[in-house]
């Protein structure tokens, strides 16, 4: 970070939190939650029913 950011900016940072990358399975779970909750609710208002296959979920991730 020292090579990328100026000292003025770095001095304002109190703490650095490192996150690990999500696994493909975790991304698939998130996509499923979004599809089952938010997308289906939006489509239901328009009287559209959405069903997704495992293959479709894999393509989304």
Q: What is the DSSP letter of 30?
A: H
pLDDT value of residue 20: 94
Residues in the chain: 61
Q: What sign results for the dihedral spanned by CA atoms 50, 54, 59, 61?
A: positive
Q: Using an 8 Å Cβ cutoff, are 43 and 49 in contact?
A: yes
Helix (H) and strand (E) counts in the chain: 4, 0
Q: What sign results for the dihedral spanned by CA atoms 50, 52, 58, 59?
A: negative
pTM equals 0.54
Q: Which residue has the higher pLDDT, 9 or 1?
A: 9
In this predicted model, what pLDDT tens digit does every residue of 6-54 receive, in sequence order? 989 989 988 888 999 999 899 989 988 888 888 888 888 889 888 888 8
């Amino acid at each position: 970070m020292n090579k990328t950011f100026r000292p003025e900016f770095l001095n304002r940072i109190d703490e650095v939190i490192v996150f690990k990358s999500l696994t493909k399975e975790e991304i698939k779970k998130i996509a499923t939650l979004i599809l089952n909750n938010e997308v289906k609710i939006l489509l239901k208002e328009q009287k559209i029913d959405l069903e997704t296959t495992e293959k479709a979920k894999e393509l989304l991730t």
